[in-house]
Amino acid sequence: MPLPSIGGGTFARAGGPCIKLFLHGHANRPFFHIVITSKFAPLGTHPVEQLGTYDPMPNTENQKLLSLNIERTRYWMGQGATFSNTAAQLLGKAGFLPIHPETYMKAWRNRYKVADDEEAKKAAEATAESGPSQPPSSSSP
Amino acid sequence: MSRNVQRLGKLWLSLKRTSLSSSVGRPLLGHRAVPSIPLPALSQGIHFSCNQFSQNQDSQTSSKSQSQDEKRIKLFIDPEVQTLLKELTGRDLKRIFRKRKIGQKLKEPKYTFMTEAQLQKAREEAEEKADKLLQMPPVLMPRKTIDEILSFDPCIQLDEVVPSTLIFTDISMNIKDRDRIIVARDPDGTLRQATWQERDKMNAIYFPTEGREFIPPKMFTQPLALQTVLDRASEEDNTYEFVLDRACLQFEPEDPLFINAAETTYETIDRAGHYDFLKSTRHYGPMVFYLVRMRKMDNILLHCIKHGRVTTDADRLVTLFQIIFPECKSKSAEKTINAVDKIKRYIQLDAIRKGELELALNAYVEEEERKAELEEGLRRQHAM
């Protein structure tokens, strides 16, 4: 039985090495291994090597734990490994890679949505207050 | 989309490094006016040696007394001080190699016939092993808090709907725990070096040490618990040794929790007078060093004089005091001075419990004179 963390998988002909998040864990409890596999390998394939772990569920101190064997990761980067989207985003947040543009996009969209919701709520409150005394005013400035 | 942005006008973005909750609803800047904060270079940003957290840095303490204390603590590794502490500790091999109930499997004693040379070799090996067992845990200044920001990127605020801190640990092999790269990304976008608490936890998760608990025992986190344990100390239980060994196993020597536990133990021993409980163990040296450094030497000095260890332990204690406090009054210019005279000088000039010490010393001197007379008399009798 090939053991992932000390090698044992192989690279497919096309694709090359890729650093991805490999889902382990159980029902309603995800846990990821950060592994190096072939880029187009099916999802359950044995990876070549395990480089780290990522726990997406925050612990009691509201921390998400990410570990990475930087030495080995840099070796694989030297061998031409690429990163999957989520792996690159995660490592960008961690400071190992530059922050991924999708992180900025996601953050902007979330902030926009929160601001939008706040505005809608304020408008609703304004109309509720002015409702009994006056006819509802137009909400658009 | 941009029209909506301009219409809303409060795409809030906190440029201050505060927690996310306090930055909600605070309109600071429009989206386009966010200044670009330069990111650190990829290879230099986090490949940062943690050596600056070691004790070798010059202290930046403002108060004079703190820097004096630091100088005295640094004297622990002075060769003279180390020699004195080792001599004070004693080397009772029977006590060093006694059976200890620490959960290890018992081995049957082996009896062999040996020549003189083999016996001598075995003795030397035992001495070497005793040296190892008596190696003192270092006395260091408490470690300074880590407060370093690597980067600040407010534009990633709220990239997850429920924000949390991301702790990143480098699990490369063959790196010491204190050199390992451990950084944290806060929800407000700050990338910082992890605090000591976070570092300890991460090292415990990814590289656990045997015997070190993940959650520190209550006796070290609750002050009352430790005091309860120490108050019912007894010689058979080796309570003080147990507490100090457990602290050594659990913490690093610069950890404030370790220093606190050790100093509380030493204070309890000083109050109860149980100095000899730690004799011939590796904790005796640091205990004596602490008592001398805090000017609480007189109790242990009295103890030594009362037990007749004047030319040995008491003399060494006074010498140690004069090294740690070079500005003391009792330091004499003469190189060779009698032990009793040296201690007398100390009692007269620097001691706090002058009366009791003088009485004890005089009692000792009289006792020695009487013994000398008795021996002289016996010698004359036998000669005749």
**Does residue B222 form part of some domain?**
yes
Please name the amino acid found at residue B119. Answer: L
Contact B166 A93 (CB under 8 A): yes
Q: Which candidate in A60, A61, A65, A74 is best for mutational testing of the B interface (most B CBs within 10 A)?
A: A65
pLDDT in tens, B192-219: 999 999 999 999 999 999 989 999 999 9
What residue of B is the nearest CA neighbor of A119? Answer: B8
Q: Which of A94, A107, A115 sits opposite B183 (nearest CB)?
A: A94
**Does residue B64 form part of some domain?**
no
Instruction: For residues B156 and B129, state if they share a domain.
Output: no
Q: Which residues of B touch A97 (CB under 8 A)?
A: 42
pLDDT of the residue at B295: 92
Point out which residues pair with A66 in neighbouring strands: A54, B168
User: What number is the average pLDDT over the span B103-128?
Assistant: 92
**ipTM field:** 0.85
pLDDT of the residue at B22: 34
A117 touches chain B (CB under 8 A): no
Instruction: For residues B156 and B305, state if they share a domain.
Output: no
Residue A6 above 60 pLDDT? Answer: no
Task: In chain B, count H helices and then E strands.
Answer: 17, 4
**Does residue B207 form part of some domain?**
no
Buried-state track B134-154, b at ≥16 Cβ within 10 A, e below 16: bebbebbbebeebeeebbbbb
Instruction: For residues B216 and B332, state if they share a domain.
Output: no
User: What's the rounded Cα separation, in Å, for the pair B197 and B203?
Assistant: 10
Contact B46 A62 (CB under 8 A): no
Which of B2-6, B127-131, B213-217 is the least confident region?
A: B2-6
Q: Which of B150, B158, B173 sits opposite A111 (nearest CB)?
A: B158
Instruction: Print the domain residue range for B172.
Output: 149-194
Instruction: For residues B228 and B308, state if they share a domain.
Output: no
Tokens of B162: 């429920």
Which of B164, B194, B224 is at the close of a domain?
Answer: B194
User: What number is the average pLDDT over the span B53-69?
Assistant: 60
pLDDT in tens, A49-91: 999 999 999 999 999 999 999 999 999 999 999 999 999 999 9
Pairs of CB atoms within 8 A across A/B: 108
Instruction: For residues B236 and B322, state if they share a domain.
Output: no
Instruction: For residues B129 and B266, state if they share a domain.
Output: yes
**Does residue B25 form part of some domain?**
no
pLDDT in tens, B8-43: 444 555 555 654 333 333 333 333 333 333 334 333
Which of A49-53, B51-55, B112-116 is the least confident region?
A: B51-55
pLDDT in tens, B259-299: 999 999 999 999 999 999 999 999 999 999 999 999 999 99
Tokens of B200: 């300890």
What residue of A is the nearest CA neighbor of B45? Answer: A95
Q: To the nearest whole percent, how much of chain B has pLDDT over 70? A: 83
What residue of A is the nearest CA neighbor of B206? Answer: A67
Q: Which candidate in A114, A117, A121, A140 is best for mutational testing of the B interface (most B CBs within 10 A)?
A: A114
Instruction: For residues B177 and B128, state if they share a domain.
Output: no
Which of A93-97, B302-306, B335-339 is the least confident region?
A: B335-339
pLDDT in tens, A109-136: 999 999 999 999 999 999 988 876 655 5
User: What's the rounded Cα separation, in Å, for the pair B300 and B313?
Assistant: 10
Which of B225, B259, B282 is at the close of a domain?
Answer: B282
Q: Which residues of A touch B181 (CB under 8 A)?
A: 70
**Does residue B352 form part of some domain?**
yes
Contact B156 A69 (CB under 8 A): no
Instruction: For residues B189 and B307, state if they share a domain.
Output: no
**Does residue B323 form part of some domain?**
yes
Q: Which residues of A touch B19 (CB under 8 A)?
A: none
Which of B282, B313, B341 is at the close of a domain?
Answer: B282
A116 touches chain B (CB under 8 A): yes
Q: Which residues of B touch A96 (CB under 8 A)?
A: 42, 46, 168
Tokens of B174: 């063959």
What single DSSP character describes residue A45?
Answer: P
What residue of A is the nearest CA neighbor of B207? Answer: A67
pLDDT in tens, A40-54: 888 888 999 999 999
**Does residue B252 form part of some domain?**
yes
Distances in Å between the Cα of A29 and the Cα atoms of A57, B159, B289 are: 8, 21, 52
**What is the count of structural domains for chain B?**
3
What residue of B is the nearest CA neighbor of A112? Answer: B11
Q: What 3-state class would DSSP assign to B328?
A: coil
Instruction: For residues B367 and B309, state if they share a domain.
Output: yes
pLDDT of the residue at B332: 73
Q: Which residues of B touch A119 (CB under 8 A)?
A: 8
Q: Which of B8, B42, B172 sits opposite A115 (nearest CB)?
A: B8
User: What's the rounded Cα separation, in Å, for the pair A51 and A7?
Assistant: 11
Contact A71 B166 (CB under 8 A): no
Q: What 3-state class would DSSP assign to B164?
A: coil
A119 touches chain B (CB under 8 A): yes
Place B349 in a pLDDT band, splitting at 50, 70 and 90.
confident
Instruction: For residues B219 and B267, state if they share a domain.
Output: yes
For residue A69, the distance in angstroms to the closest alpha carbon of chain B comes to: 5
Contact A69 B171 (CB under 8 A): yes
What residue of B is the nearest CA neighbor of A140? Answer: B7
Instruction: For residues B370 and B264, state if they share a domain.
Output: no
Contact A110 B39 (CB under 8 A): no
**Does residue B248 form part of some domain?**
yes
Q: Which residues of B touch A112 (CB under 8 A)?
A: 5, 8, 11
Instruction: For residues B136 and B163, state if they share a domain.
Output: no
A99 touches chain B (CB under 8 A): yes
For A66-100, what is the HEC assignment?
EEECHHHHHHHHHCCCEECHHHHHHHHHHCCCCCC
Burial class (CB in 10 A: 0-12, 13-18, 19+), B266: buried
